[in-house]
Structure 1
Amino acid sequence: MQLSAASYEERLTAPRSWWLICFLAGVSLGLILLPLGTLPMLAGLAAGTAVTAVAASSYGSVRIRVVGGHLIAGEAKIPVTALGEPEILDPEEARAWRTYKADPRSFMLLRAYIPRALRIDVTDPDDPTPYVFLSTREPERLAEALRAARSAAADRTGE
């Protein structure tokens, strides 16, 4: 399957330092179980590392995609025709929109380890969501993909 020019895909993977933390969590569990013997200590090391690694991998497996005229962010699937102009947020402005400027009705796909973001107004009058806030490492590319997908959707509908 060939993706259109408007396609975009990003996985919000956890930073490398989190994998070290996963190992250290395993070491901690191993040390807790050390008084019980060598085998429980090794089992604790393996289990603690594995469980925390699965948690970090799961948290970092969320994807943002623009494909087929839709923005797919995590579990949300929004037609690009229902979205306004994307606004690229620098780290300071993204923090403001995550905190005191945030609207509780908005859809937010946040990852604290990603400092930049994209905010897109929802223009569908039937949708109570005022905007979509997405943490992204490449807000310029995502904004361009959304613009291209919206333009392609408008061309298909003859607007």
Structure 2
Amino acid sequence: MSDQPRPTETEHLAERETQHRARPEPATYRERLWVPLWWWPVGFALAGLLAAEIHMGAPGLRAWLPYVLLFPVPVWVLLWMSRHRLEVAPDATGTSELRVDRAHLPVSFVARATVVPKSAKSAALGRQLDPAAYVQHRPWIGTLVLLVLDDPDDPTPYWLVSTRRPAAVLAALGIPSAV
């Protein structure tokens, strides 16, 4: 038997509460911007075509080597292109924040927000784009979210982020979208 006293019920509950607070809160919105499905067969067709070109002059077992070596390439490329993640989750203070890959933006710094439709995407990313803006754009995603910042310590005027469901992102942040 040990000489140490057993923890009381209150101490046990306090320890469990501390452990619970250490866990991150679940995200209220999460999105991963995968490449379109039709890109996969195109990627495999290009890899197969290149492997067939290499295969033409090799007899025997070496004939299959280009296929074995080249077919993982489109898988890696398309997964790498689909690495973009967008998440709205509570931060350490309990307020919502937008996380885009490794960047995060507390909602308290957002002055206003709007949805950039597909028809206005070219202008928003072209002649109207501020060079100091934070941009996470994926060309295969039609809509963007524009978040104008109100932070005197940050030179970034706004965030421009690709998303398939911009209204859901703004609702998860608790920001009324301006039209």
**TM-score, structure 2 normalization:** 0.75
The number of equivalent residue pairs is: 146
Matches within 5 A, 1:44-63: 44-63=66-85
- Tell me what 2:41 maps to: 20
Q: Which moved more, 1:97-106 or 1:33-42?
A: 33-42
Q: Aligned partner of 1:13: which letter?
A: W
Query: Which piece of structure 1 moves more, 52-61 or 136-145?
Result: 52-61
Where relative contact order (Cα < 8 A, 6+ residues apart) is larger, the structure is 1
Give the secondary structure class of the aligned counterpart of 1:16: coil
3-state SS, counterpart of residue 72 of structure 1: strand
Task: Quickly say closer, same or farther: Cα 1:127–1:25, change in 2 above 3 A.
Answer: same
Q: List alignment gaps of at least 5 residues for structure 1.
A: 149-159
Instruction: Please point out which of 78, 95, 107 is paired with 2:122.
Output: 95
Alpha-carbon distance, 1:112 to partner: 0.4
Match of 2:50 in 1: 29
Residue identity in the other structure for 2:149? V
TM-score by length of 1: 0.84
- Which runs of at least 4 in structure 1 moved beyond 6 Å after TM superposition? none
Identity %: 25
Q: Distance in 2 between matches of 1:122 and 1:65?
A: 18
Gaps of 5+ in 2: 1-23, 91-95
1:33 is aligned with what amino acid? I
- Inter-CA distance 127–39: structure 2 relative to 1 (3 Å threshold): farther
| Alpha-carbon shift at residue 135 of structure 1 (Å) | 0.8
Residue identity matched to 2:36: P
Query: 1:122-137 alignment to 2 at 5 Å?
Result: 122-137=149-164
- Give SS of 1:92's match: helix
Q: Name the CA distance, whole Å, in 2 between partners of 1:45 and 1:2.
A: 45
Letter in 2 for 1:126: D
2:26 aligned residue: 3
Letter in 1 for 2:54: L
In the alignment, which residue of structure 1 is the partner of 2:16?
Answer: none
RMSD: 1.8
Task: State the structure with more CA Rg.
Answer: 2
Tell me if structure 2 keeps the 8 A contact 1:24–1:49: no
SS at 1:100's partner residue?
A: coil
Measure, in 2, the Cα distance between the counterparts of 1:43 and 1:101: 49
Deviates more, 1:76-85 or 1:119-128: 76-85
